[in-house]
Every structure is written in structure tokens, then in C-alpha cells.
């Protein structure tokens, strides 16, 4: 692995790549605290909902936990050196709330903050621009015991924690994202129960969604007071790129419902439009929105942000329930068990993560799938970015995109992963298409820097461009990492 140096970079500029990205484009990789840090009981950290959930039998594959993960807490200096060797210009990571504010209330634990100060300083020393996510799913267990996200108070707790983080790190972190994929927190955590805390109550899921939104808005407000004027704040949403199976009205209606509870439940209030009337109508029998949303909440959630992060993995194809077998032609996955098929890519549960749209059927977009069973279709990424540019008109970032494959360590200890390189190439090319079509996309953070704890799938699914031997914690860049380094060095794709 060679270091990127300014000399080679200027030579590269002479022979521009076929698909060049704008200068200053952030070439990044992403991780999340619980997935990599380990050290779950060190320096004052207390359990998060993911510690509790992963220790509950049957919730995570193989009974895996994040207790050790990839030991990043102790190896972060080595990991940052690796990032520098790869040529990354930016790194997106998340702060562990229970490491910083163990019970979710009261004063900060300085040792927890010191870890992030040291991480950020090491990144800056290596010329890597830090992007800090405040919440990547690890709610302090004490707050869950007090009701979790379905309870309004949690939004206020989150804003207090955001202020602690901004005070401690605001002088050196130029870009913040509040929440990572709040859809997953609300609907997988409290709806289908495949994620922590594993509750399965549709009303709680919708309440959680509102309080996550409110927490985001309150956090933006609190951080604006504390951060330097140059600091940018955003949020990372897994907006679903929803495609109706056909143009039949009932399939368009299915797509509308999924867009409402998948996407517009966030972007409505965040971009000043409030909660969409159709979402409220779809879910009126589940939750009392008048009671849930108090006067002023939507204005709070709609506080301006500087950048919108998109996490994109695959498109979402939906239809109305299909009764007759002939209706399911070409879509073996549809409805053969009587209930809606679950090819939404969000795990298996008897409980739907789609309140108000429980009967919508999900279809595999194509058979070209990753090890997660997620279809590979990069056109959804350009379509999403172009749509977001059109609808919201603010700078965008791809804050996650990547793929798991069954990696094999060769006899020479190397990992050759051409499928991952192909996936990344297709998706970076889709980003370039969106930029060419006018979308202001400022950066790309592939998921993930290194193999890690993949939530309910434990260590079975590997998303890294760097292989981790979980026995020895040895890191080995895969061939996709070497490819990415070359893309970064050239400033684009050939
Ligand atoms: C996203 C999560 C990230 C990782 C990828 C594969 O939904 O934000 O932590 O699990 O999926």
C-alpha cells in the first residue's frame, strides 16, 4: 500500500480520469461505534440497548456481541494509519452515547470524551477530515428502561448529549450528522423488533419516529449555539428508492404508502413541510398524531441543516397484495405464505416494520444480489441523489454505500474481492451521473472501512474493504481497498 503524496496527486491531475469528481470531493469510509469499538465496559461506559439485545439469546446470529468487535478502542491509531495509507480524505464514525454520558443524563465522562478527542486529533494529524455521527443506534440502556424513543423525554436527553459532544469536539470536527438512519431505529427497533431494543409495537414505532425527528431538531438547535459558524450539521437517512412493480393504481398506492412511512416521515418535517397528510391518514388508527405532535415540534424539526446524507444499498420494489398466483409472475417472492413477502432487505420478523402499510408486498429488484441478499442496482443511487437535489436543493453526501460478499482469504493471506470492487465502481459511477445531472454531491463514504459487527447478522457478514481476522485482529486491505486507493489518487474512475 503506498501513501498518497502530493507529487503523485499532481501527476494524476495531468492525466485526468475518464470520470473525474469535483475537486474537494470527500473520499471517505464509514464505521459506527458499537460495530467496531469493543471495550464495552471500559472507562465508565455502560450498556447500550445493543449490548442488552446482543446478549439476549436468539437475537443476533451465533450469539455474537460487540464486546470486542474489532477492538478499535485500543487500535484506533493503527486504524487511522491504515486510513491514511489508503488515501482517505475523510472518515465518518459515530460517538457512543453510553461512553460519553453513561446513563443518558447528567455530566459527561471525560475518559469517554478523551477517546474521541484522541481519535479526532489523530485523524487531523493525518490530514483526514472527521465526520462525527451522534447516534448510530446505541441508546444508553437506562434511557430505554425509562421508555426509550417512544417517550418524548428521550429527544431532550439526546439534545443534551449533542451539546456535550459539541462542547468537547466542536473545535475540531467540521461536519456532524445527528442521527444515522432513524427509520431503522424506529421501525426495526420498535416495529419488527429485529434491531435493539427488539420491541414490536407499531404505535411505539411511530412515536419513536417522531421523537427521533424531534431529537434531531433539538440537537441541531443546541449544536448551532455551540459550534463555530463554519461547522456543518446534517443527518444520514436511508431514504428508500421506491419503485412500484407496475403502473397499476394499486401498485402506485403501495409505493405511496412506503414512501410516506419510509421517507417523507423524515423529510416532511425536516424540510419544513411538516408530517404529510397522507402518512397521518394511513396511520391514524395506530397513533393519535394530534396528541403525539405538539405545537412547535414541526418547526423545531425543520431547523435548517447544511448537508443531507444518504445511505443507499438497493432499490425497493413494491406492489399491492397479490391474490392470484398468475399475478405474481416473475416475482416468486410475492405473497405465497398468505402474508406479505419480506424482501425489503430489513430482516425477518412476524411483525411488520411498516405501520399503515403492513400488506404491501416487497419484490426483489433483480437476482444479482450481495451476500445480504440485497439486489445490486446502482441506478437507484443516481435516481435518489437527483430526486433529493430536486426536492430539497441542499448539498448532499453519500454517507453509506457498500456490499457484503463471502470473502475468501487466499493461501497468501490476501483477499481478492472483485465483486465488491464491481459494486463500488457501479455506485461511484452512479454518483458521478448524479453530479453530471446537477446534484451537488460533496462526498462518498463507503460502508465500511473494515469488517465489523453487522447488527443482527453478527460477524457473519463482511462489508469491509479491509479484512479483519477476528481471532488475531489482524487487518488486511482487500483488493477493493487497493482499487479505492487508486480511485482516490486519480480523483475519479477510469
Ligand atoms: C446500514 C447501517 C450500517 C450497516 C449497513 C450495512 O443500515 O447504518 O451500520 O449495518 O447498513
CA–CA gap between residue 33 and residue 136 (Å, rounded):
7
Question: Ligand 1 in contact with 181 (CB < 6 A)?
Answer: yes
pLDDT at position 15: 79
Using pLDDT thresholds of 50, 70 and 90, give the confidence band for residue 14: low
CA–CA gap between residue 259 and residue 252 (Å, rounded):
10
Question: Ligand 1 in contact with 455 (CB < 6 A)?
Answer: yes
pLDDT at position 74: 98
- Work out the percent of the chain whose per-residue pLDDT is above 90: 91
Q: Whose CA is nearest to atom 5 of ligand 1?
A: 447
Using pLDDT thresholds of 50, 70 and 90, give the confidence band for residue 330: very low
**Is the pLDDT at 121 greater than 90, yes or no?**
yes
**Checking DSSP bridges between strand 90-94 and strand 129-135, what pairing results, if any?**
parallel
Averaged pLDDT, 468-487: 98
From ligand 1's centre to the CA of 455, what distance in Å? 8
Averaged pLDDT, 456-482: 98
**Is the pLDDT at 109 greater than 60, yes or no?**
yes
Question: Ligand 1 in contact with 400 (CB < 6 A)?
Answer: yes
The cell 464514525 sits on which residue? Answer: 93
Q: Which residues pair with 310 in a beta bridge?
A: 237, 398
Using pLDDT thresholds of 50, 70 and 90, give the confidence band for residue 472: very high
Question: Ligand 1 in contact with 463 (CB < 6 A)?
Answer: yes
Tens-place pLDDT, residues 200-233? 999 999 999 999 999 999 999 999 999 999 999 9
Which ligand 1 atom minimizes the distance to the CA of 404?
A: 6
Which ligand 1 atom minimizes the distance to the CA of 454?
A: 10
Q: What is the mean pLDDT of the chain?
A: 94
Tens-place pLDDT, residues 136-146? 999 999 999 99
From ligand 1's centre to the CA of 82, what distance in Å? 21
Q: Pocket of ligand 1, candidates 66, 181, 314, 461: which has the most ligand atoms within 8 Å of its Cβ, to mutate?
A: 181
From ligand 1's centre to the CA of 229, what distance in Å? 30
Which string of DSSP letters, residue by residue, matches 47-112?
-BHHHHHHTSTTSSGGG--SSSTT-HHHHHHHHHHHHHHHT-SEEEEE--HHHHSTTSSSS--HHH
Using pLDDT thresholds of 50, 70 and 90, give the confidence band for residue 5: very low
From ligand 1's centre to the CA of 31, what distance in Å? 9
From ligand 1's centre to the CA of 334, what distance in Å? 25
Q: Pocket of ligand 1, candidates 135, 188, 212, 454: which has the most ligand atoms within 8 Å of its Cβ, to mutate?
A: 454
Question: Ligand 1 in contact with 374 (CB < 6 A)?
Answer: no
From ligand 1's centre to the CA of 131, what distance in Å? 16
Question: Ligand 1 in contact with 32 (CB < 6 A)?
Answer: yes
**Is the pLDDT at 115 greater than 50, yes or no?**
yes
Which ligand 1 atom minimizes the distance to the CA of 455?
A: 10
Q: Whose CA is nearest to atom 9 of ligand 1?
A: 32
**Is the pLDDT at 8 greater than 70, yes or no?**
no
Averaged pLDDT, 74-96: 99
Lowest-confidence pick of 9-18, 67-76, 153-162, 451-460? 9-18
Q: Whose CA is nearest to atom 10 of ligand 1?
A: 454
From ligand 1's centre to the CA of 30, what distance in Å? 10
Tens-place pLDDT, residues 171-196? 999 999 999 999 999 999 999 999 99
pLDDT at position 342: 56
Per-residue CA distances from 35 to 94, 154, 235, 303, 366 (Å): 10, 23, 19, 30, 29
Tens-place pLDDT, residues 222-280? 999 999 999 999 999 999 999 999 999 999 999 999 999 999 999 999 999 999 999 99
Q: Pocket of ligand 1, candidates 400, 453, 462: which has the most ligand atoms within 8 Å of its Cβ, to mutate?
A: 400
pTM: 0.95
Q: What DSSP element (H or E) covers 298? A: helix 297-301
Question: Ligand 1 in contact with 447 (CB < 6 A)?
Answer: yes
Q: Which residues are catalytic?
A: 181, 400
Q: Whose CA is nearest to atom 4 of ligand 1?
A: 454
Strands (DSSP E) along 320-383, which ranges?
Answer: 361-363
From ligand 1's centre to the CA of 45, what distance in Å? 23
Amino acid at each position: 500500500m503506498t501513501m498518497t503524496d502530493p507529487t503523485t496527486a499532481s501527476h494524476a491531475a495531468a492525466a485526468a480520469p475518464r470520470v473525474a469528481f469535483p475537486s474537494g470531493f470527500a473520499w471517505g469510509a464509514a464505521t459506527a461505534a458499537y460495530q467496531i469499538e469493543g471495550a464495552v465496559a471500559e472507562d465508565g461506559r455502560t450498556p447500550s440497548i445493543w449490548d442488552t439485545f446482543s446478549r439476549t439469546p436468539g437475537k443476533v446470529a451465533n450469539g455474537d456481541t460487540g464486546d470486542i468487535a474489532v477492538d478499535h478502542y485500543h487500535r484506533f491509531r493503527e486504524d487511522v494509519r491504515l486510513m491514511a495509507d489508503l488515501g482517505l480524505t475523510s472518515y465518518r464514525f459515530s460517538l457512543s452515547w453510553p461512553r460519553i454520558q453513561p446513563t443518558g443524563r447528567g455530566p459527561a465522562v471525560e475518559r469517554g470524551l478523551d477517546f474521541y478527542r484522541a481519535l479526532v486529533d489523530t485523524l487531523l494529524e493525518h490530514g483526514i477530515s472527521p465526520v462525527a455521527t451522534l447516534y448510530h443506534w446505541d441508546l444508553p440502556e437506562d434511557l430505554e428502561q425509562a421508555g426509550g424513543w417512544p417517550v418524548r423525554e428521550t429527544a431532550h436527553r439526546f439534545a443534551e448529549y449533542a451539546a456535550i459532544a459539541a462542547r468537547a469536539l466542536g473545535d475540531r470536527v467540521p461536519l456532524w450528522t445527528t442521527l444515522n438512519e432513524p427509520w431503522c431505529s424506529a421501525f426495526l427497533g420498535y416495529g419488527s423488533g429485529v434491531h435493539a431494543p427488539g420491541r414490536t409495537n407499531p404505535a411505539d414505532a411511530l412515536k419513536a419516529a417522531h421523537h427521533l425527528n424531534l431529537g434531531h431538531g433539538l440537537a441541531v438547535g443546541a449544536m448551532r449555539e455551540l459550534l463555530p459558524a463554519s461547522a456543518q450539521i446534517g443527518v444520514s437517512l436511508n431514504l428508500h428508492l421506491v419503485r412500484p412493480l407496475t403502473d397499476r393504481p394499486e401498485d402506485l398506492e403501495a409505493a405511496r404508502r412506503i414512501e410516506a412511512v419510509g421517507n417523507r416521515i423524515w423529510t416532511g418535517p425536516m424540510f419544513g413541510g411538516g408530517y404529510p397528510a397522507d402518512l397521518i391518514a394511513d396511520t391514524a388508527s395506530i397513533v393519535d398524531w394530534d396528541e403525539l405532535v405538539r405545537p412547535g415540534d414541526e418547526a423545531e424539526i425543520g431547523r435548517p441543516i447544511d448537508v443531507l446524507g444518504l445511505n443507499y444499498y438497493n432499490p425497493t420494489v413494491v406492489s399491492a397484495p397479490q391474490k392470484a398466483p398468475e399475478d405474481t409472475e416473475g416475482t416468486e417472492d410475492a405473497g405465497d405464505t398468505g402474508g406479505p413477502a419480506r424482501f425489503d432487505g430489513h430482516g425477518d420478523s412476524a411483525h411488520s416494520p411498516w405501520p399503515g402499510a403492513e400488506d404491501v408486498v416487497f419484490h426483489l429488484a433483480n437476482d444479482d444480489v450481495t451476500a445480504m441478499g440485497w439486489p445490486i442496482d446502482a441506478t437507484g443511487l443516481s435516481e435518489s441523489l437527483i430526486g433529493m437535489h430536486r426536492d430539497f436543493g441542499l448539498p448532499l453526501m453519500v454517507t453509506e454505500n457498500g456490499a457484503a460478499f463471502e470473502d475468501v482469504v487466499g493461501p497468501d493471506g490476501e483477499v481478492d474481492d472483485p465483486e465488491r470492487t464491481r459494486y463500488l465502481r457501479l455506485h461511484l459511477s452512479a454518483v458521478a451521473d448524479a453530479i453530471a445531472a446537477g446534484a451537488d454531491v460533496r462526498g462518498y463514504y463507503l460502508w465500511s472501512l473494515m469488517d465489523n459487527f453487522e447488527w443482527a447478522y453478527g460477524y457473519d457478514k463482511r462489508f469491509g474493504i479491509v479484512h479483519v481476522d477476528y481471532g488475531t485482529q489482524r487487518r488486511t486491505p482487500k483488493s477493493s481497498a487497493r482499487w479505492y486507493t487508486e480511485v482516490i489518487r486519480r480523483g475519479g474512475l477510469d
